[in-house]
Amino acid sequence: MSARGQVQLDGIVKKHGAFAALKGIDFEIKPGEFFALLGPSGSGKSTTLRILAGLDAPTSGRILVDGEDVTGADARERDVAMVFQSYALYPHMTVFENIAFPLEMAKRPKAEIGPAVREAAAKVKIEHLLDRKPGQLSGGQQQRCALARAIVRKARLFLLDEPLSNLDAKLRLETRVELKKLQRSLGVTAVYVTHDQEEAMTLADRMAVFMEGEIRQIGRPADVFAQPNSIEVAAFIGSPPMNLIPARYQDGSVLIGGRRLPTMLQTHGERDVVVGVRPSAVRFEADGIPATVEVVENLGDAAILDMSLAGTALRARYDRFPLPREGDAMGVTVRPEDIHLFDPVSRRRL
């Protein structure tokens, strides 16, 4: 059981005519891992999931599941289960029939199907809704029904295509936690597509950041957050997004607003760089670089300050009360370990 659900993608390319939707995707997922495919819409993450599911065929490349080449195999031969963004419940069947459908297709004996359906329904807490039709369920209940249908067969792979995006904000947070618990308790490999970096950060053991048909970075969410390897990844991960300020690097420090900020990078020489600073890493000190508060967005327990610093915009998280007012002048600084440096030409991390 534990060895099931190992996935390997080798040089997956998908072309639509001249347009390359995927330009060579490689990654490996370990059994039992929660792996997120994160990226903006049109970045190729959903296409990758569909290729993994067998719903689309790659133009070239190989897909291996548990060491077996499934590149040419039909979706139904792959033993994978999927939750769709739209849930894709069968509207003419009851919840029970929906959940039972994969077992029926697998020709499991009737005596086995009933208990298995009830067990799956109980896991997602919809055992009292088995006689309803999908049209009589709320959005959250429909989503649970789709989850139950996916877990009932105990497939070796569990694919989720933006499963939370049709839920309202509060329900989304609740379901997120339950989804993680569910995956843990089942010990099943999960591949999760999302454009919401927060979902990927909280759910995934590891994640792949997709952009323009390529994987830009793979790693543990915390590592990707702490060490984004390019400007694009840095700008995509984190909310509010990282400040990216063009500046001049000189012998182990950067020049911003006429002041020198020491960096971790300690090389001699001078060059143009892009300085990345997370809003939460901005510190306020009276003798810091002078900046003017332009807009205060009060979040309740903290605020996001939109500031102007030597002609460039800077967003900072501020959690001391009382909050500053618009127009106030404040001194800001950043610790060397919180400064990310990028090459403005290659856009890679320095």
Does residue 163 interact with another protein by CB under 8 A?
Answer: no
Alpha carbon distance 151, 182 (integer Å): 9
Give the nearer residue to another protein in terms of CB position, either 143 or 253. Answer: 143
Does residue 194 interact with another protein by CB under 8 A?
Answer: no
What DSSP assignment string belongs to 263-286?
-S---SSEEEEEEEE-GGG-EEEE
Tokens encoding 332 = 């800001």
Tokens encoding 59 = 């133009």
Does residue 80 interact with another protein by CB under 8 A?
Answer: yes
**Minimum Å distance from CB 76 to another protein?**
5
Q: Determine which residue in the list 53, 148, 254, 314 makes contact with another protein, applying CB under 8 A.
A: 53
Alpha carbon distance 319, 311 (integer Å): 24
Does residue 275 interact with another protein by CB under 8 A?
Answer: no
Stretch 106-125 residues interacting with another protein (CB under 8 A): 106
Give the nearer residue to another protein in terms of CB position, either 150 or 289. Answer: 150
Nearest CA-CA partner of 26 in 231, 208, 195: 208
CA 51 distance to own-chain centroid: 18
**Minimum Å distance from CB 40 to another protein?**
17
**Minimum Å distance from CB 90 to another protein?**
6
**Minimum Å distance from CB 11 to another protein?**
24
Does residue 131 interact with another protein by CB under 8 A?
Answer: no
| Number of residues this chain uses to bind another protein (CB under 8 A) | 30
Does residue 102 interact with another protein by CB under 8 A?
Answer: yes
150 contacts: CB under 8 Å, gap ≥ 6? 81, 82, 83, 158
Alpha carbon distance 77, 92 (integer Å): 25
Alpha carbon distance 348, 342 (integer Å): 5
What DSSP assignment string belongs to 34-91?
EEEEE--TTSSHHHHHHHHHTSS--SEEEEEETTEE-TT--GGGS-EEEE-TT----T
Does residue 284 interact with another protein by CB under 8 A?
Answer: no
Alpha carbon distance 198, 239 (integer Å): 8
Stretch 134-153 residues interacting with another protein (CB under 8 A): 134-135, 139, 142, 149, 153
Does residue 82 interact with another protein by CB under 8 A?
Answer: yes
Segment contacting another protein (CB under 8 A): 19-27, 76-84, 255-263, 308-316? 76-84
Give the nearer residue to another protein in terms of CB position, either 74 or 270. Answer: 74
Give the nearer residue to another protein in terms of CB position, either 32 or 134. Answer: 134
Tokens 């830009």 correspond to 216
Tokens encoding 174 = 């609740």
318 contacts: CB under 8 Å, gap ≥ 6? 284, 302, 303, 304, 305, 324
Q: Determine which residue in the list 105, 177, 264, 313 makes contact with another protein, applying CB under 8 A.
A: 105
Segment contacting another protein (CB under 8 A): 118-126, 129-137, 168-176, 267-275? 129-137
Give the nearer residue to another protein in terms of CB position, either 88 or 350. Answer: 88
**Minimum Å distance from CB 143 to another protein?**
9
Residue ranges in contact with another protein by CB under 8 A: 53-55, 74-76, 80-82, 84-92, 101-102, 105-106, 133-135, 139, 142, 149, 153, 166
